[in-house]
Structures are given as structure tokens and as C-alpha cells.
Amino acid sequence: MKTTVVAVINQKGGTGKTTTTINLGSAISKSGKKVLLIDLDPQSNLSYSLAIPGSNGTLADVFLGAKNLKDILVEKDGLWVAPGSNDLVDIEISLVSEKSRESFLKNILSDTKGFDYVLIDCPPSLSVLTLNALTAAHEVLIPLQMEVLTLQGLDQITKTVDRVKKAFNSKLKVKGIVVVMFDMRRKLSLEVLHYLQENVEEKIFKSQIRLNVKLAEAPSFGKSILDYDPNSNGAKDYQALSEEFLSSD
């Protein structure tokens, strides 16, 4: 079985990165694929949003060599999750002085068998942990809000991906851009989207994730939007995105 590893990145916080990792992963899982979510963010928002305990260990323990990845995996609503923790802050500091510091996660994932997709929720920074994700990944998915500063952030992300591709991972590619928190009633949102469509080379998924109250509520119940309210616009949008995502492989 071929496993596709996807790094979900945006160096800005609050951009729908964790929401996209969880809900795209859930939608792909419900299509019959086996999906693993990696919570690489020291803030552990993904683990919190799915009510995943770290009682069997976390990703930090795996980086330290105290646990194997399979030892810490937790199954939730058809998804498998490698929980994160605040200890990843210390891991990041310690990695700076290590040889081949960019390859730790790639080596960890090399033992992972039986998954169709691994989605990595990256920290909101272009850090050593994010470098690990990009070195381990086959593809990059970029959630973007339609704001003016989005354009500057996208440029930083694509330059980082290019550098990683040249230095560590020649097969890395940008899978595409996901428009999130989209409000078509806002003139600025439409203007930024039009600008992106006209000026960026990267694929922009046609399936847009609309602003949706239910999406914001779902983490409080420890569920993906597809399990919390499958009839909501948020669930429909991520279902559509998953179909487009899978058909573009």
C-alpha cells in the first residue's frame, strides 16, 4: 500500500490549518481510506479538538526514542491520531543542534504501515518542526483566508517549500491551496481570490470552506464536523474538498 504524506502548513495562526487537517482527514476516512493525523503543533490543538488523551505517550516521546509511533496512536471516529503535547517545544530546541535534524519525522514515519494518507498538522511557524514535516511529506496543502496579508504569507510558504525541495526532498510538491473561512459577501474576499486565481501557479481547489458556526462548535464536542453535524455547510464543504483532493491524485 502506498502511503501519501501531506503537510498542512501556514506560518500564521488561526488560519484553519487544524480544522482542515481534522475535517479533510475525516472526510477522506469516510470514503474508505485509512488516515493518520499527526499533531506536530506544540499547542496540540488537533489533539484537543478531537478529545485525544496523551496517556499512552505523545509525539514528543517518539522523537525522544522513548516510544514507537504505533505505541501512542489513538483511534477516534475512524481516524488514527498521533497526539501532540507542549513538550514538542523542548524537542524543537533540542533538534537545532542535532545532525540531520530535518529527518527525524521522516524516519519516524518510515515505520508506519497500512495507511493511505498521513496528514501532518504543522506548527504556525516555519520552524524546525515544520522543516521536519516538509522533509517527510510528499505533498503540501496550504489553507488560506482571503485577506491582504495572505498574499505575503503565501510567498513565504512557497519559497520555503522550494528551499526544502532543493536541499532535502526533491519530490516535494504543492498539492494545492484551500480557501477557508470564505465569505462571498465580502468584497475583499472576492478580490483576493480573483488575484490568486490570476497570479499564482499553485492549484487552488474549487471547493471552498465557507464560514460556518458549526465548524467552530465541533471541537468543543471532540468531533470532526462530519461527526458533529454531517448536514452542516462545513461538513458539505469538506466532503466536496475530499472528493476533489482524492480525484487530483
> What CATH number is given to the structural domain containing 181?
3.40.50.300
Give the least confident one: 87-91, 96-100, 107-111.
Answer: 96-100
pLDDT single digits (tens) 2-36 = 899 999 998 776 678 999 999 999 999 999 999 99
Among residues 178, 241, 180, 214, the alpha carbon closest in space to that of 26 is found at 241
pLDDT single digits (tens) 110-123 = 878 899 999 999 99
pLDDT of residue 47: 96
pLDDT of residue 14: 67
Domain that holds residue 221: 4-247
Q: At what angle do helices 187-199 and 148-167 cross, to 10 degrees?
A: 30
pLDDT single digits (tens) 136-187 = 999 999 999 998 888 788 988 999 999 999 999 999 999 999 999 998 888 8
pLDDT single digits (tens) 191-238 = 999 999 999 999 999 999 999 999 999 999 999 999 999 999 999 999
Residue 248 or residue 129, greater confidence: 129
Q: Please state, in angstroms and rounded to a whole number, the distance separating the CA atoms of residues 152 and 145.
A: 12
- Distance from CA of residue 216 to its chain's centroid? 17
Number of domains in the chain: 1
